[in-house]
């Protein structure tokens, strides 16, 4: 098909990807500069997640797996931050963090800088702690579940766990009232079901990349996971916790860019069928 007499639909079918990306970039940047403040509807899974944390009693101990990589931070970071804020707001709830991702400890530091635990009166070693990256994936989950102190005797800074009061009564998976996992890897999110929920019955929630949600939903439907959320739903959680941050800000952008994406799909398909009807399909 020559360029001459191609018609509008012919051009629309052949838009260079650079142009499509440039328009997409405009749709990303414009709402960042001029926020629209679109409403954020709260879904059932996020409500369930919020209610589970809200129901934690003083003295409850929560295990968090910071299992995401740097690439997943823009999506999962806001969710991790807002959930930590909610946990710190709950009086007497203790939070122990570990990482099945090698980048986890650094990303945890980043999250803590954003949260500022002292603002909630939370003290390291008393109300929260990070026992660091534990190598081995599912083997690490099983080992921590069986005997945490035998798996690691130090926190992520290399200090002995014995000096921290939060670790006093922590023995194994049965010491925890809730398990939360943020991860960019299917092995981790599914591994916790196998190694903790199935073996010890520890209540479990996970926040994963949006693309992993369809894989995790069958576990939730079977009652093995209380709630599955994607990091993209951080805005919903921020609304519930009344701590607006990065998640809320992304709502405008995500909505607009998805409208554009739908427009691309629509234009591409209409152009294809129009050209096909004219016998001009390549």
Partner 1 sequence: MELNLVIQIWLASLFTIWIYSVAFRDNDFFKFAEYTFVGAAAGHSLVYAVDNLRRYGWDQLMGGAYLYIVVFLLGIILYSRYHPQYFWLSRYPLSVMVGIGIGLSMRAVVTAEFIAQIKSTAGIKLVGVTDPIQLFSNIVFIVLVLTTTYFFLFTFPKAHEGGLGVIPRIARYGMMAAFSYSFANTVLSRYNMIFGRLDYIYNQWLPLQGAIIALPIVLILLIYAMLPPEKRPWPKKQ
Give min distance, CB of 74 to partner 1, in A.
2
Pairing mode, strands 178-183 and 204-208? parallel
Q: Which C-beta is closer to partner 1: that of 160 or that of 277?
A: 160
CA dihedral 238, 243, 247, 248 (to 10 degrees): 90
Tokens of 121: 């009166």
Distance separating alpha carbons of residues 174 and 3, to the nearest angstrom: 70
Return the residue matching tokens 């660091």.
132
Q: Which C-beta is closer to partner 1: that of 1 or that of 22?
A: 22
Tokens of 20: 């499509």
CA atoms 169, 170, 175, 176: torsion sign: positive
CA atoms 269, 271, 272, 276: torsion sign: positive
Closest CA to 67 of 197, 227, 179: 179
Q: Which C-beta is closer to partner 1: that of 176 or that of 219?
A: 219
Return the residue matching tokens 């926020």.
35
Of the CA atoms within 13 Å of residue 112, those in its CB half-sphere come to: 17
Q: Which C-beta is closer to partner 1: that of 79 or that of 93?
A: 79
Q: Which C-beta is closer to partner 1: that of 122 or that of 251?
A: 251
Give min distance, CB of 246 to partner 1, in A.
6
Q: Which C-beta is closer to partner 1: that of 5 or that of 16?
A: 16
Question: How many residues would you count in the chain?
Answer: 282
Distance separating alpha carbons of residues 165 and 23, to the nearest angstrom: 54
Give min distance, CB of 170 to partner 1, in A.
18
Give min distance, CB of 50 to partner 1, in A.
20
Q: Which C-beta is closer to partner 1: that of 122 or that of 193?
A: 193
Distance between start and end Cα atoms, the chain: 7
Task: Tell me which residues touch partner 1 (CB under 8 A).
Answer: 17-18, 21-22, 28-29, 32-33, 71-75, 77, 102-103, 133, 135, 138-139, 142, 151-154, 190, 193-195, 197-199, 209-215, 218-219, 221-224, 230-232, 246, 249-250, 253-254, 257-258, 261
Give min distance, CB of 122 to partner 1, in A.
23
Give min distance, CB of 239 to partner 1, in A.
17
Give min distance, CB of 58 to partner 1, in A.
31
Distance separating alpha carbons of residues 27 and 124, to the nearest angstrom: 41
């Amino acid at each position: 098909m020559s360029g001459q007499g191609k018609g509008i639909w012919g051009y629309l079918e052949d838009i260079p990807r650079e142009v499509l990306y440039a328009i997409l970039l405009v749709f990303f940047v414009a709402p960042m500069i001029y926020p629209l403040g679109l409403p954020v509807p709260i879904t059932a899974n996020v409500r369930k997640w919020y209610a589970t944390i809200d129901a934690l009693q003083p003295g409850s101990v929560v295990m968090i797996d910071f299992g995401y990589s740097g690439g997943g931070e823009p999506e999962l970071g806001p969710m991790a931050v807002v959930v930590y804020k909610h946990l710190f707001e709950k009086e007497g709830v203790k939070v122990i963090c570990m990482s099945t991702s090698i980048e986890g400890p650094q990303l945890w530091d980043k999250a803590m800088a954003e949260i500022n635990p002292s603002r909630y009166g939370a003290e390291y070693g008393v109300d929260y702690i990070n026992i660091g990256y534990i190598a081995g994936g599912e083997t690490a989950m099983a080992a921590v579940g069986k005997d945490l102190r035998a798996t690691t005797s130090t926190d992520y800074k290399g200090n002995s766990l014995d000096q921290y009061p939060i670790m006093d009564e922590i023995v194994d998976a049965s010491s925890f009232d809730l398990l939360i996992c943020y991860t960019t890897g299917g092995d981790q999110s599914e591994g916790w079901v196998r190694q903790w929920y199935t073996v010890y019955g520890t209540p479990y929630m996970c926040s994963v990349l949006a693309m992993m949600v369809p894989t995790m939903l069958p576990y939730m439907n079977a009652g093995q996971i209380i709630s599955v959320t994607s990091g993209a739903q951080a805005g919903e959680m921020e609304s519930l916790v009344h701590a607006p941050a990065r998640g809320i800000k992304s709502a405008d952008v995500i909505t607009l860019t998805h409208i554009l994406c739908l427009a691309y799909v629509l234009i591409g398909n209409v152009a294809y069928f129009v050209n096909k009807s004219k016998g001009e399909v390549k």
